[in-house]
Amino acid sequence: MVYAGVVIYKDSKILLQLRDNNSRTENPLCWGIFGGEVKKDETPEQAATRELREELKLTTGKLKPLLKTDFKGERMHLFKMDLLKDISELELKEGKSMNLFSKQEILKVRNTVPGLKKLVKDFL
């Protein structure tokens, strides 16, 4: 499978999503970046843009490529963007919650998705 995610920056912090707690959600009740699976008919950037629209009702321009990597046998395309509006203006459509975290705070959070802390330490 191929996945696309977006590291969203706001005031030197990163916006994370607390995942839902249901049987369809990978890593339920864990903090992670926004994103999801790339469909057959779309590019990773198109998938990332679609996921932001679905999860946050956020429309973006062109995303900046950040990293392509393999993780646990899956291909991950990561993009980055600066959030120009306040998070109170976003409408969370998927997940239990969202919040801004500094890199140091992310490293201290116990319930993060696998690989998030490595991403923060090595690439952000």
**14-51: pLDDT as tens digits:** 999 999 998 888 889 999 999 999 999 999 999 999 99
124 pLDDT above the threshold of 90: no
Q: Give tens-digit pLDDT for 47-84.
A: 999 999 999 999 887 899 999 988 778 899 999 999 99
Residue 15 has a pLDDT of 97
Number of structural domains in the chain = 1
Residue 61 has a pLDDT of 79
Residue 53 has φ and ψ, to the nearest 5°, of -65, -45
pTM exceeding 0.85: yes
Whole domain around residue 43: which residue ranges?
2-123
Q: Work out whether strand 13-18 and strand 31-32 pair parallel, antiparallel, or are unpaired.
A: antiparallel
CATH of the domain at 8: 3.90.79.10
